[in-house]
Amino acid sequence: MISAKIRFPVIFIGVFAAAILMALYAATFGRMERADAAESIKLYCDAFVRQDMAAQKQLTSYGAQTDAFNMKMAFSSALQTTGAFLSSEEAAKIGDAYMESLRGATVETAVTEQSRERAMVEVTVTRFNMPAAREKATALLRERMKLDGSPEELRRTAVEATAEAYRALQPVGTVTFYVPVQYNEETRIWDPADPMQFGFDLSKQTMGVE
């Protein structure tokens, strides 16, 4: 049986340890309750534009829902707005090449407006030289085109030439646009108010599509 003299210091140490743990919790997890909106969107950009695995794992650890955020799909949609008529397989092939180039993109973010639950984030991202890529694709197509080739062969060659050109996209400055965001009480970070629109806007801006 523990005497009263021993029991008191044991209880005191237990209370003291609990206080330390609470302080540590407040110093770490507590801060996440008001995560910075610009840092949150930068994390999304690093995860899905630059395809940074550490950023993707961090979002997953927060419990962020990222299924709706698909840069490759957004790119395919943006590509169609330029007048390209591609099958899903062709768009996927060019999309994979484009995503490789995006790994070299730079992203900067800053908050321009903010309330408790809503904010506006300014995103500055690399814009790639799409006209030069199209010229390169055309040149490659002319080099590889067979005059006696079938329409199917010609189309396949065109897709392969375009993918090769997109895989080697060159930056041509940066472009800035604005993203409405909202605070997520469950994940404790800020999310794009419309994830699909965010992905679409990123694709349009990096491609230089107005």
Tokens representing residue 134 in the block: 């199209």
pLDDT band at residue 144 under the 50/70/90 scheme:
very high
pLDDT of residue 81: 66
Find the helix or strand (DSSP H, E) in which 63 lies: none
Rg (CA), the chain: 25
Within the chain, what is the greatest distance between any pair of CA atoms?
100
Write down the mean pLDDT value for the chain: 82
Mean pLDDT of 77-102: 82
pLDDT band at residue 10 under the 50/70/90 scheme:
very low
> Is residue 74 scored above 80 in pLDDT?
no
User: Does residue 134 contact residue 82 with C-beta atoms inside 8 Å?
Assistant: no
Residue that wins the pLDDT comparison between 161 and 199: 161
User: Does residue 80 contact residue 86 with C-beta atoms inside 8 Å?
Assistant: yes
